Amino acid sequence: MAMVGLFWITEDCVYVGAEPTGTAPGVRLTKDGVEILGLGQGGRGRRWDEIREIDVRDVAVRSAARRLLSMAFDSALVLISGDGEQPPAFTVRVVTETDGTIEASALAAVPGGIHPPDEYALSRALLTRLVDGDTLVDDLLTWCRDRFGEPAPAGDERLALLRRWTASPA
């Protein structure tokens, strides 16, 4: 499994944000569609042909320098107070043909919950391409399966993957 942009990719499915455990909130993307998971929001699945849009809101986005500063401040605060928190949540909006807008929460999987602006923008573009059928969830799953056991991709590799998955067909 690996984190690329806003996506946590396993061999079987793709999560927007962290893969939820137990009753934690989350959004799972599969070959068949989108599933809203978690206590109080779970059990709602939609096929890709029912979905008109997927977007994310409330995602912490900062430049590399500001991200590092925020993470250092948060670490110092936890060290002093001893009060660690769960990863920050963000909102995933799924617009369907029949049910209108469904809002769900997902937890950030990236350290500090802060995403670089370019990864955030490319992740949003990838969500659009997934909805439009221009990129398939299978493309992301195949990539993950092909690199089983390898370390998580570094920043430049993550950006290259997002650019590849969001590139217009030739």
pLDDT score at 148: 84
Q: How far is CA 87 from CA 13, 71, 80, 158, in A?
A: 21, 12, 18, 21
pLDDT score at 41: 78
62-84 residues labelled b (16+ CB within 10 A) or e (exposed): beeeebeeeeeebeeeeeeeeee
pLDDT score at 83: 54
**How many other CB atoms sit within 10 Å of the CB of residue 144?**
19
**How many other CB atoms sit within 10 Å of the CB of residue 2?**
18
pLDDT score at 149: 83
Contact 162, 120 (CB under 8 A): no
Domain boundaries, the chain: 2-158
Going by the DSSP 8-state scheme, the letter that residue 15 receives in this structure is E
pLDDT score at 161: 95
Q: Where are the alpha helices (DSSP H) in 26-96?
A: 64-81
- Across the chain, which has 170 residues, the per-10-residue mean pLDDT values are 92 94 92 92 85 95 52 46 67 93 91 86 97 96 91 90 85
Give the separation between CA 81 and CA 64, rounded to whole angstroms.
26
